[in-house]
Amino acid sequence: MVPVSYRVARRRRETHDSWTLELEPAGDAAAEPFAPGQFAMLYAFGKGEVPISVSALPLVHTIRAVGVVSAALCDARKGDVLGVRGPFGTAWPVEAAEGADVVVLTGGIGLAPLRPVVHHLLANRERYGRVVVLYGGRSPEELLYTAELERWRGRFDVEVHVAVDQAAAGWHGRVGVVTTLVPRADFDPAHTVAMICGPEVMMRFAVAALQERGVPAEAIFVSLERSMKCAIRLCGHCQLGPEFICHDGPVFPWDRVEPLLRVREL
Amino acid sequence: MQTIDELLGDIDVFRGLADDHLDLIAGCAQNRTFTAGDRLLTENEQANTFYAIRHGTVALETFVPQRGAVTMETLHGGDVLGWSWLFPPYRTMFDARALGVVRAIAFDGACLRGKCDEDPQLGYVLMKRFAEVMVERLQATRLRLLDVYGQVPGR
């Protein structure tokens, strides 16, 4: 599968190590439309490819510089050309969640793959029950999309709570682990679909907190991350037991992957 | 206007306690209101008081040289603030500062300790309730110690 050339139309710094790139086709060819939760293999020419979830539609990515390729992507300037393969993987169940309360629970860079879900929920607000966004970060300086979070919070039809692990005295928000937001959030556990994205250990505890509230395992969805190379179910780098994260995921119902995540050797 | 007994029933740590126990606890309690910046607790002072926060946000802080005050945790409506009153040497470990208007029920810890000594059943029930709060906070602290957002997944 050959990458399609995309040009960086806009770039915005999110945190000290994360950037958002808005991409547009550099020529006549364009990738198929992405759905919230799916990812692209972004190619920094001469450096390599990495999987990056779509953080807004039609094609916006938020990238954290953690290696050679992701650092090169973060360095891309307006007008630079990148390669795009995709869309790959499964999407968040936004249509299946219609009629239910929706809890979006996320931490760190994990808000990026769930941001298009929030966009969809807010654009189609009448189709959902209560909408709750719970977001955790390391510190106030490391929160993504702060202006957008403020806009979401300013609406009367969505509940947004943010918690950071540590803060200096000037911070007037909540300090604590993100899972402590769950017990007091306003949703009906029996009629809720929860979508979680963040570090795997955070997701485990987040699931526990949601289940303690009474959200059934089959109504909880997580986005998993493993080393992905081919993205087309060939190389096996991203395998989790029988599941290929690049193809069968990254979005999974919790009850399908929970037994696999308990196997420490996987 | 709600009585202290009635207000206590809305606080998680006291929810469902027997009426006679709530009466005993209410005898050591009074309503307090704080404004932004007010100290509810000061580090290394005699721990005579603890609070049940009814409304508002309280920052649990400590002063770090060259960094200033660092907020370790915030507490909110329904939370209990302070457990140093339970154990010798009865000294507070951290500062607690109101981040805005805070309405709270303040408890005289020495008064309540005395009632617990006289009524071991009340003491046992209260100790169990506070142990639950401590375990919840300990588990949350352990999770934060993992610094999960600082981890970089394999690529």
Q: How far apart are CA B129 and CA B127, in angstroms?
A: 5
Query: Which range has the worst mean pLDDT, A15-19, A21-25, A109-113, A235-239?
Result: A235-239
* Whole-number Å distance between alpha carbons of A53 and A33: 13
A interface with B, Cβ–Cβ < 8 A, is: 50, 66-67, 69-70, 107-109, 136-138, 142, 165-169, 171-177, 179-180, 184, 198-199, 201-202, 205, 225-227
Residue B150 has a pLDDT of: 74
Return the C-alpha torsion angle A194, A154, A118, A105, nearest 10: -30
- Minimum distance, in Å, between the CA of residue A76 and any CA atom of chain B: 19
Residues in chain A with CB shorter than 8 Å from the CB of B155 are: 50, 66-67, 69-70, 227
Q: Which residues contact B56 (CB under 8 A, 6 or more apart)?
A: B34, B76, B77, B98, B99, B100, B101, B102, B103, B104
pLDDT digits (tens, 9 = 90+) for A128-166: 999 999 999 999 999 999 999 999 999 999 999 999 998
Q: What is the pLDDT of residue A263?
A: 83
Helix (H, G, I), strand (E, B) or coil at B89: coil
Q: What is the pLDDT of residue A106?
A: 96
Q: Is B134 on the interface with A (CB under 8 A)?
A: no
The pLDDT of residue B147: 84
| pTM of the full structure | 0.89
Domain annotation for chain A: domains and CATH numbers: 4-88 (2.40.30.10), 101-223 (3.40.50.80)
Specify the pLDDT at position B154.
42
Q: Strand (E) positions, chain A?
A: 4-13, 18-25, 39-44, 48-56, 60-64, 81-88, 101-107, 131-137, 159-164, 167-168, 174-175, 192-197, 220-223, 239-240, 243-244, 251-253
Split at pLDDT 50, 70, 90, the class of B151 is low
Task: Tell me how far apart the alpha carbons of residues A56 and B116 are, in angstroms, rounded to a whole number.
Answer: 57
The Cα–Cα gap between B93 and A117 comes to: 43
| pLDDT average, residue stretch B44-63 | 94
CA-to-CA distance for A79 and A58, rounded, in angstroms? 18
**Pairing between strand A101-107 and A192-197?**
parallel
On the CB side of A188, how many CA atoms lie within 13 Å of its CA? 8
Average pLDDT, chain A: 94
Q: Is the pLDDT of residue A22 over 60?
A: yes
What does the CA dihedral A88, A115, A187, A200 come to, rounded to 10 degrees?
60
User: Is B155 a residue whose pLDDT tops 70?
Assistant: no
Q: How many CA atoms, within 13 angstroms, populate the side-chain half-sphere of residue B43?
A: 10
Contact in structure between A135 and A143 (CB atoms under 8 Å): yes
Burial of A247 from C-beta contacts in 10 A (0-12 / 13-18 / 19+): middle
B155 to A171: CB separation less than 8 angstroms, yes or no: no
Strands A192-197 and A220-223: parallel
Residue pLDDT, tens place only, A35-70:
999 999 999 999 999 999 999 999 999 999 999 999
Sketch the domain layout of chain B as residue ranges: 4-147
Task: Assign A148 to helix, strand or coil.
Answer: helix
Q: How confident is the model at residue A100 (pLDDT cuts 50, 70, 90)?
A: very high
Query: A223: closest CA among A109, A145, A130, A128?
Result: A109
pLDDT confidence bin for A227, thresholds 50/70/90: confident
B32 CA: distance to closest CA in chain A (Å): 21
CATH number of B4-147: 2.60.120.10
What is the pLDDT of chain B when averaged over all its residues? 91
**Whether residue B152 has pLDDT greater than 70:** no
End-to-end CA distance of chain A: 28
> β-pairing, A101-107 with A131-137?
parallel
d(CA B27, CA A150) in angstroms, rounded, equals 43
Cβ contact (<8 Å) for A107 and B149?
yes
Mutate to test the interface with A, among B143, B146, B151 (most CBs of A within 10 A): B143
ipTM of the complex: 0.81
Contact B68 A169 (CB under 8 A): yes
